[in-house]
Amino acid sequence: VEKFKRLKNEGNDFVKMGEYEEAANKYSECMKLNTEECTVYTNRALCYLKLYKYEEAKQDCDHVLQIEDSNIKAFYRRALAYKGLQVRKNKWQVF
């Protein structure tokens, strides 16, 4: 439990500094200790959005919504991920 909290706090600190790749790595370590803690998934989804990794962000949000079907952050961040995926898809379409 202590290691989980420490890793999560380190991840949060990286987010505050704008170090999203490092933060995502810390949240991933947290997930190895506890797969049911939704906040680390929504936090990692935020990092992925900042890194333009929309598919990964969507997957994290989908996971949260399987556990907590009314998690507002997961719905919001999944919507942003879908928006990012749509923009990327449209950008590469040839007319």
Q: How many CB atoms lie within 10 A of CB 84?
A: 18
pLDDT digits over 30-70, tens only? 999 999 999 999 999 999 999 999 999 999 999 999 999 99
- CATH code for the part of the protein at 1-93: 1.25.40.10
Round to whole Å and give the CA distance between 58 and 16: 22
pLDDT score for 94:
55
The Cα angle at residue 28 between residues 14 and 2, in degrees rounded to 5: 80
pLDDT digits over 77-94, tens only? 999 999 999 977 776 555
Residue 4 burial class via C-beta count within 10 angstroms: exposed 0-12, middle 13-18, buried 19 and up? middle
Does residue 15 register a pLDDT over 70?
yes
* C-alpha to C-alpha distances, 60 to 2, 40, 66, 90, 92, nearest whole angstrom: 23, 9, 10, 23, 25
What are the residue ranges spanned by the domains of the chain?
Answer: 1-93
Q: How many CB atoms lie within 10 A of CB 16?
A: 9
Token pair recorded at residue 28: 């991933």
Residue from 1, 6, 86, 8 nearest 44 by CA: 8
